Amino acid sequence: MNSVLLSEKVLILVSSAEYRPMKPRMMLKALKLADEEYRELRRAIKQLVREGRVLYGANHLVLPTVSNGSVRPKTPRPAPTPSESIEHRAPEGGTELEQSSSGMIDFDEGQVAGQAAGQAAGQVAGQGSIAGANQIVGIFRSAPSMGYGFVEVPRGGSVPLAGDSVRSQGQTPPQADQDAHVARAELSVKMPDIFIPEFRKLNALDGDTVRVQLRRPMLSGSRGSGRGGKEMPRHASGRLEGEIVEVVARKRREFTGTYQTDGQKSFVWLDGAKLERPVSLGDVRGMPLENNDKVVVELVRFPDELQAGEAVLLKVLGSLRNPAVDTMAVMIQFALPEEFPESVIEDARAQADRFSEEVIPEGRKDLTQVPTLTIDPVDARDFDDAISLSKNERGNWELQVHIADVAFFVPVGGILDQEARQRGNSVYLPDRVIPMLPETISNHLASLQPDRRRLAKTVFMEYSSEGVLLHAEVYNSVIRNAYRFNYEQIDQYLLEPEPWKERLDPAIFQLVRDMHTLAMQLREIRRKGGAVELTLPEVKVDLDRLGKVKGAHVVHHTQSHQMIEEFMLAANQAVASWLDQLKLPFLRRAHAPPDQLKIRRLNQFIRALGIPADEMQDRFEIQRVIDSVKGKTTAFAVNYAILKSMSKAVYQCEFERHYALNMTHYCHFTSPIRRYPDLVVHRIVDKLVKGEQARENTEVLEQMGEHCSHTEQNAEQAERELVRVKLLHFLEKRVGELLTGIVWGVKANGLVVRGVEIPVDGMIPLDRLPADRYRYDRDTHTLEGQRSGNQFRLGDELIVRVERVDLARRHLDFRLEKLVHHEQRGPGRPSGGIGSEDRQSTRGRAKGPKKGFSKGPSKSKGPGKSSGGPKRKKR
């Protein structure tokens, strides 16, 4: 029998209400399988154990696990205590798990989900979002790569009310009845997100509208006080926690997935749905389908605890192994736009026909004789910013940041504008760019190409010799880009400037030198002022001409990147300050301060790593910690933990400082070719420059900000997902090979490891660690073998073997081969582990495993942050 179908049968059996724990031999009879299928059944059960979907209990009884959304016992197992033992031993025939837990101990949103305390919860208690006694209706957000999630109730957003819901079979209310089902809940404060454990999310999928029953706190003394003394159920950590009791409306019914069959039954593993088993597929006889084809299906029955979902086939995309099909599937999964409609293309052509380089429009400064240059990625084609810099007679710097005047070519409300607003931003995938605007504009009319007259909006800034801003203004201009550099060329120039003297015009040569001087000065002022700068290097996927991955490399954030970044930050800040002085509403780029509960969890995390740190209540201490781990194997884990403790930057009209940049006034202005919010700000500036009324409707701006924040986050998720898929294809051909990896997540059922050479995340399940009884500690983020003393923790450098790549489920398993290095944790902390004689002598225990560990790749500083494809500047 097909192993996938056999696994599904096991899951259905153990999830049934009548199921009583039994051994695999008894399960063989319960499933009415032949004796010769016993070995295959044991293999299927072992694989389910590795994945944490079932457990082995005493005497090898097969148990359900509460971490499995499709296997839910009548009495859910409580969350693990801060330290708990997990037995994983090696009986005859292999290593198996005796007891496991669904508890998470890596630094992630599930652990640091503390939100605003009692006052915020109390203010919303009893308002329109409350569906009943301690019931709230909101939007379910599934945590990436994790089982748990959150329910959010947007402030002033549309919230379905009690009594108007659709049952959890998932039938979306008809459009004609939407008004009857939805009312606006004007909340005086933002409702804290509600944490939903994995085993309490019903069958909700990301984006679904759900009804939540708030739960009583798991530990005493953890209740938050609401309005009028009403208690809001809270976890002991302080976060709101609940259980989804109903799916009110489905976000979508169409999914991409991977088709598989055993010759009799057909099923599909859905992409991004985080389901524990595939959905069955209706009759596909006569369809041009092959095993492992990517398909588009519509769910006609959503899966629940007792039965798999059911789908009908809508479209066959092609083979799973076709790189173009990978990209197509991700584009459909994240609802990314494809080709522009013909009407939009025609409108762009019309804009090109009416533009002439020889005619300078009225009211523009002619800057075509001012030395100007661009610095971009080597493969960039949409050049939306250029720089001029000189010193005046007073010895002050005169910086001019020229930004492509996209607003000139995209009339408000026109066909082009409607399409750009809907897209929100360009999307940069490993093998293609999905532009916000047609290439006629993005790569031609608006692009600041070398030796072409181009329209721009110029931000003029005068700085003292000490780098203090003295004056700023904005005007429309015409420029001519004299030289196009890429980042690598500027890095070469900074390393060895002399060879460039012969290659460059003297004015351009001096311009690069002056740009570096001023940019580094501005950067130092920013850092001293308390800006937080995370170190998460990006990794670009290298593709061959067929679109297949041939490798990956780190994109270092060098001084060439920093030069452009500083000037873009300065221009964005100058424009926002001007608009604030005029008291005009505009789209800000806002970044709220981190939640205090998350900061407390971050403090615990940093101390558990043995890093000396004060309470990280200000930016200076956060930056000091970041600087202290540079070059160490814990650097990625620390930077990632700090990132996860931060709020998300969003677009909004309401005033809010930018926390990470430590700027009171900030907006996005410098990339209108690829970001719609920048275009919105350009239009406000355009009206001011022309002396027109520039006050925009605040409510319209807020709605636009929410939309663009969503499209930005959706694009980032799509980029990460496709990079992961590409890297999994690359590793599938390298199963059995050794890699260096860094532990950056510790879970109750194993370690999350990110590869150094190939920056992709994989799991080392407990049964792929040396046989032992493991105890993990939630506070110190460690797994420790109680017999051997082997210890695994964040930042550890490992040699791992690529063991299994499941392309259909986009899953990667590693096997531990060797612990290379424990990051130094400071005084008082044992620094042992596998192969560590210091720890073994301290504990007086036998040494760890001596055999079977291969020599691996050389040590590295740490993993990078995956990205890929044509790059854009991130400012």
Q: Judge whether residue 360 has pLDDT over 80.
A: yes
Average pLDDT over residues 296-321: 91
Structure tokens at 159: 């919230």
Structure tokens at 132: 């009943």
Provide the CATH number for the domain around residue 313: 2.40.50.640
Q: Same domain for 212 and 258?
A: no
Q: Same domain for 862 and 732?
A: yes
Q: Same domain for 146 and 160?
A: yes
Provide the CATH number for the domain around residue 816: 2.40.50.140
Q: Judge whether residue 775 has pLDDT over 50.
A: yes
User: Is there a domain that residue 270 lies in?
Assistant: yes
Task: Name the CA dihedral angle for 388, 389, 393, 396, rounded to a multiple of 10 degrees.
Answer: 140
Q: Which domain holds residue 458?
A: 349-586
Rg (CA), the chain: 29
Average pLDDT over residues 39-48: 86
Which range has the worst mean pLDDT, 18-22, 347-351, 355-359? Answer: 18-22
What are 310's strand-pairing partners? 280, 301
Q: Same domain for 486 and 528?
A: yes
Provide the CATH number for the domain around residue 24: 1.10.10
CA distances from 232 to 109, 213, 239, 240, 811 (A): 20, 11, 10, 8, 38
The number of residues making up the chain comes to: 875
Q: Same domain for 292 and 418?
A: no
Task: Encode pLDDT of 504-552 as tens digits.
Answer: 999 999 999 999 999 999 999 999 999 999 887 777 888 988 888 888 8
CA angle 755, 759, 765 (to 5 degrees): 45
Looking at residue 557, what is its pLDDT?
Answer: 87
Task: Encode pLDDT of 372-429 as tens digits.
Answer: 999 999 988 889 999 999 999 999 999 999 999 999 999 999 999 999 999 999 999 9
Looking at residue 65, what is its pLDDT?
Answer: 64
Q: Are 740 and 755 in contact (CB under 8 A)?
A: yes
Q: Same domain for 240 and 276?
A: no
Q: Residue 141, SS3?
A: strand
Give Cβ neighbours of residue 839 (< 8 Å, ≥ 6 apart).
789, 791, 830, 831, 832, 833
Q: How far apart are CA 133 and CA 57, in angstroms?
A: 38
Q: Residue 130: pLDDT band by 50, 70, 90 thresholds? A: very low
Q: Same domain for 438 and 487?
A: yes
What are 784's strand-pairing partners? 775, 791
Q: Are 566 and 523 in contact (CB under 8 A)?
A: yes
Q: Which of 249, 277, 304 is the last residue of a domain?
A: 249
User: Is there a domain that residue 670 lies in?
Assistant: no
**Rounded mean pLDDT of the chain?**
79
Average pLDDT over residues 664-669: 98
Q: Residue 472: pLDDT band by 50, 70, 90 thresholds? A: very high
Task: Encode pLDDT of 715-742 as tens digits.
Answer: 999 999 999 999 999 999 999 999 999 8
Q: Judge whether residue 145 has pLDDT over 80.
A: no
What are 295's strand-pairing partners? 257, 316
Q: Judge whether residue 330 has pLDDT over 50.
A: yes
The residue to which tokens 């819901």 are assigned: 165
Q: How far apart are CA 487 and CA 378, in angstroms?
A: 7
Residue 352: which of 445, 278, 434, 415 has the closest Cα?
445
Which range has the worst mean pLDDT, 342-356, 420-434, 549-563? Answer: 549-563
Task: Encode pLDDT of 170-225 as tens digits.
Answer: 333 333 333 322 222 333 345 667 889 878 888 898 889 999 998 754 433 333 33
Please tell me which residue, 844 or 641, carries the higher pLDDT value: 641
Distance of alpha carbon 592 from its chain centroid, rounded? Answer: 18
Q: Judge whether residue 558 has pLDDT over 90.
A: yes
Structure tokens at 307: 């039965």
Q: What is the number of structural domains in the chain? A: 5
Task: Encode pLDDT of 474-493 as tens digits.
Answer: 999 999 999 999 999 999 99
Q: Judge whether residue 72 has pLDDT over 50.
A: no
CA distances from 558 to 382, 434, 538, 874 (A): 21, 27, 12, 13
Q: Judge whether residue 444 has pLDDT over 50.
A: yes
Q: Same domain for 235 and 260?
A: no
Structure tokens at 245: 């009791």
Q: Where do runs of H (alpha helix) occur along 454-532?
A: 487-495, 498-503, 506-528
Looking at residue 823, what is its pLDDT?
Answer: 55
Average pLDDT over residues 238-254: 86
User: Is there a domain that residue 763 lies in?
Assistant: yes
Q: Residue 144: pLDDT band by 50, 70, 90 thresholds? A: low
User: Is there a domain that residue 814 lies in?
Assistant: yes
Q: Same domain for 240 and 260?
A: no
Q: Are 72 and 53 in contact (CB under 8 A)?
A: no
User: Is there a domain that residue 174 lies in?
Assistant: yes
Q: Same domain for 761 and 845?
A: yes
CA distances from 300 to 59, 201, 217, 260 (A): 41, 20, 37, 18
Residue 50: which of 15, 22, 85, 88 has the closest Cα?
88
Task: Encode pLDDT of 677-693 as tens digits.
Answer: 999 999 999 999 999 98
Q: Judge whether residue 164 has pLDDT over 60.
A: no
Q: Are 446 and 404 in contact (CB under 8 A)?
A: yes
Q: How far apart are CA 419 and CA 164, in angstroms?
A: 34
Q: Judge whether residue 246 has pLDDT over 70.
A: yes
Q: Are 232 and 124 in contact (CB under 8 A)?
A: no
Q: Judge whether residue 138 has pLDDT over 60.
A: yes
Residue type, 787: R
- Which DSSP state fits 391? E
Q: Judge whether residue 279 has pLDDT over 50.
A: yes
Q: Same domain for 575 and 459?
A: yes
What are 160's strand-pairing partners? 182
Q: Are 774 and 786 in contact (CB under 8 A)?
A: yes
Q: Which of 320, 340, 363 is the last residue of a domain?
A: 320
What percent of the chain clears pLDDT 70, i.e. is strictly above it? Answer: 77
Average pLDDT over residues 343-368: 94
Average pLDDT over residues 227-246: 61
Looking at residue 227, what is its pLDDT?
Answer: 35
Q: Which of 586, 610, 628 is the last residue of a domain?
A: 586
Q: Same domain for 431 and 558?
A: yes
The residue to which tokens 């489905």 are assigned: 250
User: Is there a domain that residue 335 lies in?
Assistant: no
Looking at residue 238, what is its pLDDT?
Answer: 53
Looking at residue 155, what is its pLDDT?
Answer: 52
Please tell me which residue, 862 or 140, carries the higher pLDDT value: 140
Please tell me which residue, 168 or 768, carries the higher pLDDT value: 768
User: Is there a domain that residue 701 lies in?
Assistant: no
User: Is there a domain that residue 647 lies in?
Assistant: no
Q: Both ends of the chain: CA-CA distance in Å?
A: 54
Residue 745: which of 626, 644, 858 has the closest Cα?
644
